Amino acid sequence: MVEERITDGRRIAELLASELDGRSDGILESVRVTNADRDVEPTVEGERAYDVTFSDERIARVFVHDDRARLEFEAGQDVAAETADECDLRVRPKATEPPRTLVFIEHGAGVKRGTDVVQAVCRSVQTDSSDSSE
């Protein structure tokens, strides 16, 4: 049996949203998909589909392209870059103020790895919050 490889950006973003919002185990129980644009259409440049929040803080935005989805991390940029690289996802910095880290999910099978990046960033944010409250 041959399975079709999912390379539609909108479908990849939907799979990622289901993975993030639908799980209630570990650190992902505090992750939510928020501000979703249900009518978003993929573009070459990427259109914002939804935000990813952790404990009511936006940590990333998800954009849909014709052939991929893109996570744009606002929190935990270094952790996102390192984890994405370890997961064999394409990653690059975005020179904005404040800076962002872009992680590209280019097929449906990459969704689990994208979820791993989100989990690593959440752990980083959680650790940073614990350290600052002491």
What does the domain layout of the chain look like in residue ranges? 9-132
At 18-70, the pLDDT tens digits run 999 888 788 999 999 999 999 999 999 999 999 999 989 999 999 999 999 99
Cis peptide before 98 (omega within 30 of 0): yes
Euclidean distance between CA atoms 50 and 67, whole angstroms: 17
CATH number of this structure's domain 9-132, picked from the four choices 3.40.50.620, 3.90.1150.20, 3.40.50.970, 1.20.1250.20:
3.90.1150.20
CA dist list (Å): 64 to 22, 30, 31, 92, 127 = 20, 23, 20, 17, 30
% the chain with pLDDT above 90: 78
On whether the CB atoms of residues 84 and 23 are closer than 8 A, the answer is no
CA 108 to chain centroid, in Å, comes to 13
